[in-house]
A and B are shown apart, each in its own frame.
Chain A
Amino acid sequence: MNILRQLELEHMKTTIPDFGIGDSVDVHYLIKEGDKERVQLFAGTVISLQGGGTRRSATVRRLVSGEGVERTFPLHSPRVADIKVRERGTIRRAKLYYLREREGKATRLNPNLGRLQYPRSGKGSGLQKPEAPAAE
């Protein structure tokens, strides 16, 4: 196997749920406050998925008191502790940048009941983590 691909597989998480663009997710993000670490929740809609391998990232958009807030999370970062899928959305675009021009009710996406059952690709996130060879 290509060495780079192999290395990326080793560094990838196996626990990321299979979610897609348009889904509402809770991202559990570890933040440092002084010496303590705590989990911060960022709940919003996934409007963009980008990159492959360890570089995969998701842009999540939410409305905070009428103001749009977007954060991009590197999915395989140890800072991203967990991602919980709350709702599936129906989408007809690969990137939901059009939501930026919308406010209030217009930002809602139709729930996708049919897609509740993942994995849709059939492959799912059943990623096999290859064993790194033991150091001599």
Chain B
Amino acid sequence: MTGSKTLGLLGKKVGMTQIFLDDGTCVPVTVIQAGPCKVLAVKMATAAEHPEGHRSASMNLGKKRGKQNKPRSADGYYAVQIGFDDKPARSCSKAELGHNKKAGLDEGKRLVREFRTEVAPTEKPGDEVTVSVFDGVKHVDVSGTTKGRGWAGTIKRWGFSRQPASHGNSLNHRTGGGLGRNQSISKGVPKGKKMAGHYGVERVTVQRLELVKVDAARNLLFVRGAVPGHNNGYVEVRRTVKRERVIIGQMKAKKAAAAKAKK
């Protein structure tokens, strides 16, 4: 099944290594410490759908009116808000603590994200989300913040080619080259012209990475290939929005079976 609107998981990139499958295939994997995450809040399209005990919230309405119980209004969409990685209460704002209190927490979470869902989520604030959300999932999308490259030239940032090292080239080996056209035909430098500048530290999603292994006891995901960001960086993992890829081993088996059938 494909679907973008399912509950995912937050995690930390542990690092890369390689593992051997039973047939001896060596697979490069990124290990992700995923969850367990705490459900901090749920968003419901209509107010009536909010779970029992979460339909109203105590609000401080100022000096005159004091604290009152206000019914929760509709959010207009379905989502589950989950938090990952504990943050001590002393470094949380009171608003944060108050929010987390509804999930039965007396501390903060360093990474908080919402995952949209297609239908009204069954999770309640305070529930735990673990790698079991990926039961039966073969491929995932992983979002993270890429490593910072600082101020980078056009070759690194945009994949421009180098200029000749010799043949009379003078001091123009890694420069970007021309910017536009001249005279009457010119409209100045074209908009969006690729130039040197800050590169990295941006949100990047790698789609359709094979989920090689899930270690439920230690909350670890083994994902084939690389994942954006440095080790210990935060990542979001969700079921892939793309169609599932035919896994290489399965493809081989399929081909072998087809060849046999031909015989």
Query: Which A residues fall within an 8 A CB radius of B?
Result: 3-4, 7-8, 11, 30, 53-55, 74, 76-79, 132-136
Contact = CB atoms under 8 A, between A and B. Distances in A.
B31 A135 contact: no
B14 A79 contact: no
Interface of B: 14-15, 17-20, 22-24, 26, 31, 33, 215-218, 220
Contacts, number: 43
B17 A8 contact: yes
Contact of A134 (B20, B24, B217, B220): B217
Contacts of A135: 215-217
**Cβ-closest 3 pairs across A and B:** A79-B24, A133-B217, A4-B15
B17 A53 contact: yes
Given A3-B31, A135-B216, A136-B217, A54 B24 contact: no
B17 A54 contact: yes
Contacts of A132: 217
Given A7-B17, A8-B17, A135-B215, 7 more contacts: A4-B14, A4-B15, A4-B17, A77-B20, A77-B24, A77-B26, A134-B217
A11 B218 contact: no
Nearest to A80: B24
Contacts of B17: 4, 7-8, 53-55
Given A53-B17, A133-B218, A134-B217, A78 B24 contact: yes
A54 B218 contact: no
A53 B31 CA distance: 15
With most chain B CB atoms within 10 A of its CB, the pick from A3, A54, A76 is A3
A11 B19 contact: yes
Contacts of A11: 19-20
B13 to A, nearest CB: 11
B259 to A, nearest CB: 12
Contacts of A74: 20, 26
A24 B177 CA distance: 56
21 contacts: A3-B14, A3-B218, A4-B31, A7-B17, A7-B220, A8-B17, A30-B24, A54-B17, A55-B18, A74-B20, A76-B20, A77-B20, A77-B24, A78-B22, A78-B23, A79-B24, A132-B217, A133-B217, A133-B218, A135-B215, A136-B216
A54 B31 contact: no
A133 B216 CA distance: 10
Contact of A3 (B22, B216, B217, B220): B220
Nearest to B28: A55
A135 B132 CA distance: 12
A65 B224 CA distance: 41
B19 A54 contact: yes
Contacts of B15: 4
Nearest to A51: B18
Nearest to B21: A78
A134 B215 CA distance: 10
Nearest to A30: B24
Given A3-B31, A4-B15, A54 B217 contact: no
Nearest to B23: A78
A76 B31 CA distance: 19
Contact of A78 (B20, B217, B220): B20
Contacts of B22: 78
